[in-house]
Structure 1
Amino acid sequence: MKSVINTIYESKLAELKSKIDTLHAPVKLTIVTVGDDPASKVYVRNKIRLFDELGLECNHVILAEESTKQADLDVLAQKAKHPILFQLPLPNGLIAPDLPAHVDVDGFGSEALGQLVLGQNAVLPCTVQATIDIISAHCGEYNFSGLKVAVVGRSNIVGKPLAIELINRQSTVASFNSCSDLAAVDWNRYDVIVVATGAHGILDNSQFIEGQLIIDVGINRVDGKLVGDIKHHDGIFSAAAITPVPGGVGRLTCLHVLGNAIKLAECP
């Protein structure tokens, strides 16, 4: 799957570069981080590097964990004139402000999600777009209709919006979560299985069969290594196509932050 991910990445990047060349408005992004979360630092660094490579403006606002209040984040959101994101997770019970759609580069706000539910031209959450890219590459861009997809996870960032987008594309969607009886599910019924719970080992590679596409969205640190939600048993080969962690969905997710910033610049 790594070669597939690389092909998607290069193709999408070339497409985005072409759009940048035709824009009349500048592409800008502000990233807000609170504290010093190690995983967040990696994600933010990758986003900033991508913008820098293309000569685009990316401002990084770093707030101290011990002194930042919810009002500080709300003020930044209210003052935002161009795309902004609040890097998750946020500490100390802080929540990302509910951004208006015209600056909501992550597509997490109620306005963007409402547009998604209504089937309007919403800015999709970046991981959802990355997942759709991988399904398109594997199953065909026009083959979503009737595609049987299991989505394991119910977050507002991936599980819920992904299920809605797949329904909008006329796929047949089954939704599961960490409280579902996953051991009783016949996973062989599904063409595509997306796992996005943040719990390593919730499914394992022995449960899948040839011809299936398994998209592992999870990222966890186990024994000092980055792993996904799917456990890969030693000595067991899965004939299904399974996205790698790291180097899979996350790489494309970062690219779609740029894509959404461009989309918002196109329609200020």
Structure 2
Amino acid sequence: MIIIDGKEFSKKILEEISNEQKEIVERKNLRPAGLAVIIVGENPASQVYVRNKTRACEKVGFYSETIKLEENISENDLIKKIEELNENDKIDGILVQLPLPKRIDELKVINSIKPEKDVDGFSNVNVGKMVIGDESGFLSCTPYGIMQLLEGYDIDVNGKDVVVVGRSNIVGKPMAMMLIQKGATVQVCNSRTKDLSKKLKKADIIVVAVGVPRMIKATDVKEGVVVIDVGINRVDGKLCGDVDYEDVAQKASYITPVPGGVGPMTIASLIKNTFISYQRKIY
């Protein structure tokens, strides 16, 4: 069994970007890449994610802005702030930390970001480009990070049977589409799928993102399966995934840990998307 170390893999990606960014700034005398992160309200989990993204920007030498807005901000005022950032030449990527307050239309807000600055890859334009395989768009960061891990560990998905457990717009749906683009046969399930265990046992690769602690057991998978666990849950003060790691690791050929698996790759992919946006503007 091989542990897929997203923490170490992401460090390599960030180091490569940092070196290239330094060369551009110092030798070519150009501005650094810029990322703006908008956070609405005081959600503790969102604040942690935003801090991690800001730190990643610092590591690679990016310019970053964290824009903290009150919980009661209107949808129109939020969109106005995004429109200002759309026209700000120092900013190459704009990210709105989700979730937003329920009274705000998340899709409307996301689609107010210029597609070329939508480095989260959530806008209608970028999702559409992903579906048809147009590489000029930006890929959703978590599934993009997973695809980089699979490639980096020489795990070929072409012709493989893959089960994606989870149907969210952030992970499940784009994950399925990216795998299909690479030739995988994909079945999308969720926590309420009938006979889920029976479907999982046929899978060569399983990607789980449902938010149910340790839902997948060794009895649900076959020998040699590749397991990608996107879940982040807190149980008795400790983080765990949607997969019972100790149990499933006995049968898996490759498996991601929680923490230290997919999470760091999500941030690395965000930084990578921002750098791509930056390069498209300066060259």
- Whole-angstrom CA distance in 1 between matches of 2:158 and 2:196: 28
Q: Which residue of 2 aligns with 1:193?
A: 206
1:102 aligned to 97, 110, 116, which one? 116
- Whole-angstrom CA distance in 1 between matches of 2:199 and 2:187: 12
Q: Which residue of 2 aligns with 1:178?
A: 191
Q: Which residue of 2 aligns with 1:132?
A: 147
Q: Which residue of 1 aligns with 2:275?
A: 262
**1:84 to partner: Cα distance:** 0.7
TM-score (norm 2): 0.85
Q: Which residue of 2 aligns with 1:90?
A: 100
Q: Aligned in 2, Cα 1:127/1:120: closer, same or farther, shift over 3 Å? A: same
Q: Which residue of 2 aligns with 1:212?
A: 225
1:60 aligned to 58, 66, 91, which one? 66
- Whole-angstrom CA distance in 2 between matches of 1:224 and 1:261: 34
TM-score (norm 1): 0.89
User: How many residues align structurally?
Assistant: 264
Deviations 1:57-115 (A, max 9, x none): 110011121x2121122112222233111111222333243123111010000010011
Matched residue SS, 1:170: coil
Q: Which residue of 1 aligns with 2:179?
A: 166
1:146 aligned to 144, 153, 159, which one? 159
Query: Do the aligned residues in 2 keep the contact of 1:128 with 1:158 (CA within 8 Å)?
Result: yes
Deviations 1:143-185 (A, max 9, x none): 3321221111111111111111111111111111233114452
Deviations 1:198-251 (A, max 9, x none): 222432244223321111101122222222112357x77622132111111001
Matched residue SS, 1:145: coil
Deviations 1:96-141 (A, max 9, x none): 431231110100000100111111012111101111122223344x
Q: Aligned in 2, Cα 1:192/1:237: closer, same or farther, shift over 3 Å? A: closer
Query: Do the aligned residues in 2 keep the contact of 1:25 with 1:266 (CA within 8 Å)?
Result: no
Q: Aligned in 2, Cα 1:227/1:115: closer, same or farther, shift over 3 Å? A: same
- Whole-angstrom CA distance in 1 between matches of 2:31 and 2:226: 39
Q: Root-mean-square deviation (CA), in Å?
A: 2.2
**1:196 to partner: Cα distance:** 0.8
Q: Aligned in 2, Cα 1:13/1:54: closer, same or farther, shift over 3 Å? A: closer
